[in-house]
């Protein structure tokens, strides 16, 4: 047996023993965890699964072992992913730490920052939110106004962020602040701080879906040690763009994974097939084929680009392609589902609808945000035009 075969066998055995049965069923919205200090678990198996995967380092399989990661090679990571997929295992947690600030700390963080934060991210002990957008400064992020003024060994931070996902539930924030008012892009710094710091407050924003997953976030004289700056002072634009690449990659990867959770073929079969079990309506067949072809093409392109990048590294600016196509595809999936389900896809609450039907209706509205979060479709098209295709403004 080759080493990789042995590894595969090891993974299979470990998962058999350690992945609880309920974690091999489709994810249920109220059992999703973002981890963190005060998190509670509706299903005790979610806690167990997170602890086991976290302690093994397999929530962050490629990160070095000395920071709590799995220390796996890209080939081993692929095997782990295949084996998780084979048993239909749930993702142990949704984590901005794993997806965004962790990879950035690996590249830009000081040794002290890595030692302090990465192991806690891997084990889901500390949850993170993202303090980028401000009122009036979303797409034009470089115009941000939140000020950080030096005071001895600290910065004093004042300002407001908006659309901060899970800000009222997260433990720490990675925030972009202005450390120089003379220049736009060159006056931004990324800094980390505890959301329990004096002067931090949040106000939840209610969404169209009825949920409230993000907040307005206010900083009033928040004192943060200078050692919490990520990268160089005034070089936050480069650091923040790197983080956005990881974010866009992950938003699209999340969308790729969703075809296992949300199967458009099953929707067509359940709601549009005749007594012979076949879908005969040409319009339904046409829409379904377009979605499946786009999905397949996107997956192949992603695979090709990943194989072309350095092992384990990010896809760089091409992440904007995946974010753009992935977001549009996910919106198409839900539009298709709502059309196919007819009245049964229009339920908001009540016993006349199954929990699944209610989930689809809520997620249909949630999917509308896919082309806004992590950079809008228009902004990503600009990135693709300039940085991927090399086009210039005329
Ligand atoms: C679900 C969700 C979660 C989010 N989570 C977070 C979070 O955790 N942290 C955080 O900091 N932010 C978060 N955001 C905010 C998100 O990053 C911003 O909404 C996004 O960057 C757009 O900014 P804006 O809302 O200010 O819109 P605007 O920038 O005002 O854009 C309005 C419209 O104008 C278009 N536009 C703007 N500039 C240009 C241009 N130069 N060329 C072409 N078109 C342009 C945009 O594409 C858009 O259609 C989240 C948003 C959503 C929807």
pLDDT tens string 133-154: 999 999 999 999 999 999 999 9
Dump pLDDT digits (tens) for 45-57: 999 999 999 999 9
163 CB less than 6 Å from ligand 1?
yes
Q: Write down which residue in 207, 234, 261 finishes a domain.
A: 234
Q: CA torsion, points 110, 113, 117, 119, in degrees to nearest 10?
A: 60
Q: Is the dihedral of CA 379, 160, 99, 236 positive or negative?
A: positive
143 CB less than 6 Å from ligand 1?
no
Please indicate, yes or no, if residue 10 is contained in any of the structural domains: yes
- 377 with 300, same domain: the answer is yes
- 11 with 31, same domain: the answer is yes
Residue 129 CA: nearest ligand 1 atom is 8
Beta strands (DSSP E) in the chain are 128-131, 147-151, 154-165, 172-178, 188-194, 200-205, 214-225, 229-230
> How far is the CA of 186 from the CAs of 91, 182, 233, in angstroms?
38, 9, 9
Has residue 310 got a pLDDT over 70? Answer: no
Mutate to test the pocket of ligand 1, among 376, 381, 383, 385 (most ligand atoms within 8 A of CB): 376
What is the model's pTM? Answer: 0.91
- 251 with 219, same domain: the answer is no
Q: Residue 393: its pLDDT value, please?
A: 73
- 17 with 108, same domain: the answer is yes
- The total number of structural domains that make up the chain: 3
Please indicate, yes or no, if residue 350 is contained in any of the structural domains: yes
- 274 with 315, same domain: the answer is yes
Q: Write down which residue in 122, 144, 173 finishes a domain.
A: 122
Please indicate, yes or no, if residue 297 is contained in any of the structural domains: yes
- 38 with 152, same domain: the answer is no
Q: For residues 252 and 137, is the Cβ–Cβ distance under 8 A?
A: no
Has residue 258 got a pLDDT over 70? Answer: no
Mutate to test the pocket of ligand 1, among 95, 97, 131, 138 (most ligand atoms within 8 A of CB): 138
Average pLDDT score over the chain: 92
Q: Write down which residue in 100, 122, 144 finishes a domain.
A: 122
Q: Residue 115: its pLDDT value, please?
A: 98
Give Cα 14 to chain centroid, integer Å: 26
Please indicate, yes or no, if residue 394 is contained in any of the structural domains: no
């Amino acid at each position: 047996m080759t080493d990789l075969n042995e590894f595969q066998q090891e993974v299979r055995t470990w998962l058999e023993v350690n992945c609880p049965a309920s974690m091999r069923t489709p994810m249920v919205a109220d059992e999703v965890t973002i981890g963190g200090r005060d998190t509670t678990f509706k299903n005790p198996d979610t806690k167990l699964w997170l602890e086991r995967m976290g302690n093994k380092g397999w929530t962050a399989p490629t990160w070095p072992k000395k920071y709590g990661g799995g220390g796996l090679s890209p080939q081993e990571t692929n095997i782990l992913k295949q084996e998780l997929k084979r048993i239909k295992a749930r993702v142990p947690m949704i984590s901005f730490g794993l997806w965004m600030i962790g990879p950035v700390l690996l590249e830009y963080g000081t040794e002290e920052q890595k030692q302090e934060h990465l192991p806690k991210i891997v084990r889901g002990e500390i949850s993170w939110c993202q303090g980028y957008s401000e009122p009036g400064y979303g797409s034009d992020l470089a115009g941000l106004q939140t000020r950080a003024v030096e005071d001895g060994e600290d910065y004093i931070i004042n300002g407001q962020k908006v659309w901060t996902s899970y800000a009222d539930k997260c433990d720490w924030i990675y925030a972009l602040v202005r450390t120089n008012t003379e220049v736009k892009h060159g006056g931004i710094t990324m800094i980390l701080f505890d959301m329990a710091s004096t002067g931090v407050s949040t106000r939840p924003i209610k969404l169209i879906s009825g949920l409230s997953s993000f907040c307005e976030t206010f900083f009033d004289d928040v004192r943060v040690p200078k050692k919490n700056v990520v990268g160089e002072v005034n070089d936050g634009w480069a650091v923040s763009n790197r983080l956005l690449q990881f974010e866009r990659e992950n938003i699209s990867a999340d969308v790729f994974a969703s075809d296992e959770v949300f199967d458009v073929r099953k929707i067509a079969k359940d709601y549009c097939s005749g007594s012979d079990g076949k879908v005969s309506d040409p319009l339904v067949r046409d829409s379904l084929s377009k979605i499946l072809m786009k999905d397949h093409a996107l997956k192949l392109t992603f695979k090709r680009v990943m194989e072309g990048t350095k092992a384990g590294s990010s896809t760089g600016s091409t992440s904007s392609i995946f974010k753009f196509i992935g977001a549009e595809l996910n919106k198409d999936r839900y539009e298709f589902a709502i059309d196919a389900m007819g009245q049964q896809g229009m339920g908001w609450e009540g016993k006349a609808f199954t929990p699944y039907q209610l989930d689809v209706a809520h997620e249909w509205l949630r999917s509308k945000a896919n082309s806004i979060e992590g950079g809008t479709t228009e902004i990503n098209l600009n990135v693709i035009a300039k940085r991927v295709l090399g086009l210039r403004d005329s």
